[in-house]
A and B are shown apart, each in its own frame.
Chain A
Amino acid sequence: MPDILESIHLLKTGTQEPSLLSRLKESFGDAADFKTLHAGEAGSESVYLCFLASLCSTQKLELLLGSPISGGISATLGRYSGTSLGEADVLGCEKAICNGSAILCTTASHNGIIFDLSETKQRGIDTPITESVLQGPMYAFNENLDANTALIRQQIRSPKLKMWETKVGSMSQTRVAIFSYFGAADPGLLAKLQERLQNIKTDGIQDSGQLLRLLITRKKMSLFPLAISSERPDRSTADLLLGKMIIMVDGSPFALTVPAVYTDFWHSPEDSYVNPYVTYFLLALRFLAMFMNLFLPALYIALTSVNVDVNRLEISLAASASREGVPYPVFIETFLMLIIIDFITEAGIRLPKTISSTVTMVGGVVLGQAIIQANIVSNLLVIIVAATAITNFIVIDYQMGLVQRILKYFIAIGATVAGLLGIIFCFTCLVFYLSCLESFGAPYLTSLFKKGAPTS
């Protein structure tokens, strides 16, 4: 194509500085995937194409450098007629190469022509892994920001859906986007988020969870998650319509919803798709599970060691009988079992699926049976610990589930020190702590039922 050829002839040459080609070779010297290929001759100068083979599309490269056709370089470049081209100096060319583009330059030129040959590596749209539902959309975000944007746009086909984008990370240059629904979202919060994102100083980010840690100052860091991390487009778009904001990071399949209040973590996306009465029942079930998860081991400690008289005599006798022969105090016995069950849970999550079922079987059944027979713990405690583990999996949000796992130890310590009163004291401390928390300007303790956008 005469335009590109003309551009090649017009590239800057003639100064004392080293040429672009030599500078690029120097910059990407130790990168095995950096290629410089001879594309042809333009007058007396050789033309080279520089690119990172790992980021460029092989199809597009094939088109540019594949089988030679008659007419030389002019005919080859003619295949690119109509595509947008850019021109840049050394820094611009380096950046473009890192983004997957190829640079066309001559041996003496000090700048180059940028060809967009990039190809995004991504997996397909899959089903959600951490938020599975039985009814509702079955697709999830993936690691590509553009694909995720499309998924959101497909759910909200309105010009009121706004998207603001920036790059975070001096080295990684990761794209980060904030989605908001105009008219519902709080503009003050949006401005605050934009400011915070622009002020982040880091080399690079890999996941939205990491971004959340950078968004929240160390002073305001809390044990509880302050944003919902979701891989479901339906959940994110529903939150957008409620006036919340979605933050997405290129390379992460999890969208962050802000602000998030405590009760948001107990709503499943499925709640909106089933009968409302069933939703209320499920909500009640989840809260019951939360209380059981927090209090069951602690109650066991309190009622069998500190407040023995609170229980009915029959139950106290049964508990004492089951503890007969156990050499440890109740709290050691309980903490031992809680830690073992957490080991098993962690092993089950980290191991490949084929092995994890075996570990669960060995841990749950074999170890449980053996530990009772060895008189290390009581039968009753095994039931309690099993129930505690099951109720932990009812927690909708993974991050909140992790917090619950920690908190049960805190409440159990309270029970060890002061029995029932210790449990109540620890619970009250938790309520006090939660009431002091704010998620991006919204109080963490607000209504159970979703009403609208919480304002900052």
Chain B
Amino acid sequence: MKAKTPAALTGYDMFAIQILYFGASAGFIYPSLLIRSTDGAYWIPLAVWSAIALLSCLLYGKLLSLLENGGLVERLSSSIGLPAAVLVCLPQLIFIFGALVIMLRAYSEMITMTMLPTTPVSFLNGMLLAPGALALAGMMPIARAARVLFLISSILSLCLMLMGFSDVDWSLGGPWLRSSGDFLIDKHFYAGSFIWMGFVFPALIGNYNPQISRRFRNSYISALVVAFPMIAGFIYLPVMTFGRELSRHLTLPFISKMDAVYHYWIVFENLTALFVSVTMLYVLLVMALKIHALSESLKTLFPRAKAVWIYGTVVVLVYAAASKLPSWRAVESMIYYTIGLRMYALFIFPLLAMAAVFVAGRKKKVAS
């Protein structure tokens, strides 16, 4: 397979990708982080993060609209030169690499904890090969796969979510309105930033102009609106089942919630297995997107390197790093350590890139 020039994605493609991103990242680690971040209403930190993500998305939208049918990294490189572009992009690339490692290892750990306790994590990490191959095939195959997986996984997730409403006590979800803003000084609140960053990856892939940029922004906003209840469900359903205190001590609250669902009319007794299986659909696709974003950026920065070698190296390094992590605790620590990188990706990178593009534009104008 050969990497192809990415064509412009449709709004629906971007929407599907963003929903899949939320599905891949919000279901397992995130609920425990958010539950631990505040004593007040949970929807308030969610709304705050939604607003922050929206702001960052608008920033990216503005940046992408300046690209005149070019790629972001390519334009950056032509504006400020290759060495400076490498410097600006480096934290962004490390962030994507870290995100890949965390996602792969966290998901493998989740499988080990719930379904296949005796299977070695290094074997489970081998699942990376499938997204690696898809990433190498190009962005359009990723978008096509996203459409199919979105169709299947959204139906299954909705069913699981509806079944999660059994045995809930709404009074346990409170306080519903009160919040002291304590989450703003809690590291768990910032550690959960990774679920709001789905738009960062497509921004690094493909060519943009004002029209495509508008599509990019609108599809993320639509996805955010649709995913918000889903994310709230991941947090509130365990809380309304086990209470705040118990949920706070659970590593994977929504998984525990799924384990607690029992109805005589459900054919399957273990809904956790179904949830973990559905999550695999999300995770594999999102990992393909991340590998593609990382490798394409590297390809632009190092044009002499062969695409196959770049993709191969990325896959091998991610696999090695994910297998090297000693335990679940190390995965959690890595989430905290990379908060700074995520903030860079959310705000500093687009601002720097915008400044670079703007200055280069001004210089060009003056020269002409």
* CB–CB A431/B268 < 8 A: no
* CB–CB B141/A436 < 8 A: yes
CB-defined A-B contacts under 8 Å, sample of 28: A307-B273, A309-B273, A311-B268, A312-B266, A312-B268, A420-B273, A420-B277, A424-B277, A424-B280, A424-B281, A425-B127, A425-B130, A425-B284, A428-B149, A428-B280, A428-B284, A431-B145, A432-B133, A432-B134, A432-B137, A432-B284, A434-B148, A435-B137, A435-B145, A436-B137, A436-B141, A443-B140, A445-B144
List residues of B (269-323) whose CB comes within 8 Å of A's CBs. Answer: 269-270, 273-274, 276-278, 280-281, 284-285, 288
> Secondary structure at chain A's binding surface: helix, strand, loop or mixed?
helix
* CB–CB A420/B115 < 8 A: yes
Chain A 290-313, CB-CB to B under 8 Å as 1, else 0, gives: 000000000000000011011111
> Shortest 3 CB-CB distances between A and B: which pairs?
A435-B144, A435-B145, A435-B141
Chain B's closest residue to A312 (CB) is: B269
Chain A 270-284, CB-CB to B under 8 Å as 1, else 0, gives: 000000000000000
- Is A429 located at the chain interface by the 8 A CB criterion? yes
How close is A430's CB to chain B, nearest CB, in angstroms?
10
How close is B20's CB to chain A, nearest CB, in angstroms?
12
* CB–CB A309/B133 < 8 A: no
* CB–CB B134/A311 < 8 A: no
* CB–CB B141/A432 < 8 A: yes
- Is A421 located at the chain interface by the 8 A CB criterion? yes
Chain B 129-169, CB-CB to A under 8 Å as 1, else 0, gives: 01101100100111011011100000000000000000000
Partner of B116, one of A312, A313, A419, A424: A419
Chain A 411-454, CB-CB to B under 8 Å as 1, else 0, gives: 00000001111011100110110111000000101000000000
* CB–CB B276/A443 < 8 A: no
* CB–CB B130/A307 < 8 A: no
* CB–CB A310/B268 < 8 A: yes
CA distance A436 to B141 in the complex (A): 5
CA distance A311 to B1 in the complex (A): 40
Q: Which residues of A contact B116 (CB under 8 A)?
A: 306, 418-419, 421
Partner of B130, one of A432, A434, A445: A432
- Is B5 located at the chain interface by the 8 A CB criterion? no
Chain B's closest residue to A306 (CB) is: B116
* CB–CB B270/A307 < 8 A: yes
- Is B52 located at the chain interface by the 8 A CB criterion? no
- Is B119 located at the chain interface by the 8 A CB criterion? yes
* CB–CB B148/A431 < 8 A: yes
Q: Which residues of B contact A306 (CB under 8 A)?
A: 116
- Is B267 located at the chain interface by the 8 A CB criterion? yes
How close is B57's CB to chain A, nearest CB, in angstroms?
26
CA distance A431 to B274 in the complex (A): 19
* CB–CB B148/A445 < 8 A: yes
Q: Contacts A312-B267, A420-B273, A424-B280 given: A435-B148 contact, CB under 8 Å?
A: yes
CA distance A307 to B137 in the complex (A): 33
Report the interface size for chain B: residues with CB under 8 A from the other chain.
34
* CB–CB A431/B277 < 8 A: no
- Is B111 located at the chain interface by the 8 A CB criterion? yes
Q: Which residues of B contact A434 (CB under 8 A)?
A: 144-145, 148
CA distance A310 to B274 in the complex (A): 8
Residue of B116, B127, B266, B281 with most partner-chain A CB within 10 A: B116
Chain B's closest residue to A445 (CB) is: B144
Interface set of B (CB-CB < 8 Å, partner A): 1, 111, 115-116, 119, 127, 130-131, 133-134, 137, 140-142, 144-145, 147-149, 266-270, 273-274, 276-278, 280-281, 284-285, 288
Chain B's closest residue to A444 (CB) is: B144
Chain A's closest residue to B288 (CB) is: A432
Chain A's closest residue to B262 (CB) is: A312
How close is B122's CB to chain A, nearest CB, in angstroms?
14
Chain B's closest residue to A316 (CB) is: B269
CA distance A309 to B130 in the complex (A): 28
Chain A's closest residue to B284 (CB) is: A428
Chain B's closest residue to A418 (CB) is: B116
Chain B's closest residue to A426 (CB) is: B130
Residue of B115, B266, B285 with most partner-chain A CB within 10 A: B115
With A421-B276, A432-B145, A436-B137 already in contact, 19 other A-B pairs whose C-beta atoms are closer than 8 Å: A306-B116, A307-B273, A310-B273, A311-B267, A311-B270, A313-B269, A420-B274, A421-B111, A424-B277, A424-B278, A425-B280, A428-B285, A432-B133, A432-B141, A432-B288, A434-B145, A435-B141, A435-B144, A436-B141
How close is B31's CB to chain A, nearest CB, in angstroms?
21
Q: Contacts A418-B119, A420-B277, A443-B144 given: A310-B133 contact, CB under 8 Å?
A: no
Partner of B115, one of A307, A432, A443, A445: A307
CA distance A117 to B210 in the complex (A): 69
* CB–CB B277/A435 < 8 A: no
Chain A 323-348, CB-CB to B under 8 Å as 1, else 0, gives: 00000000000000000000000000
Q: Which residues of A contact B288 (CB under 8 A)?
A: 432
Chain A's closest residue to B277 (CB) is: A424
Q: Which residues of B contact A423 (CB under 8 A)?
A: 277
CA distance A428 to B129 in the complex (A): 12
Q: Which residues of A contact B284 (CB under 8 A)?
A: 425, 428, 432
List residues of A (383-435) whose CB comes within 8 Å of B's CBs. Answer: 418-421, 423-425, 428-429, 431-432, 434-435
How close is B108's CB to chain A, nearest CB, in angstroms?
11
* CB–CB A431/B149 < 8 A: yes
Chain A's closest residue to B271 (CB) is: A310
How close is B325's CB to chain A, nearest CB, in angstroms?
20
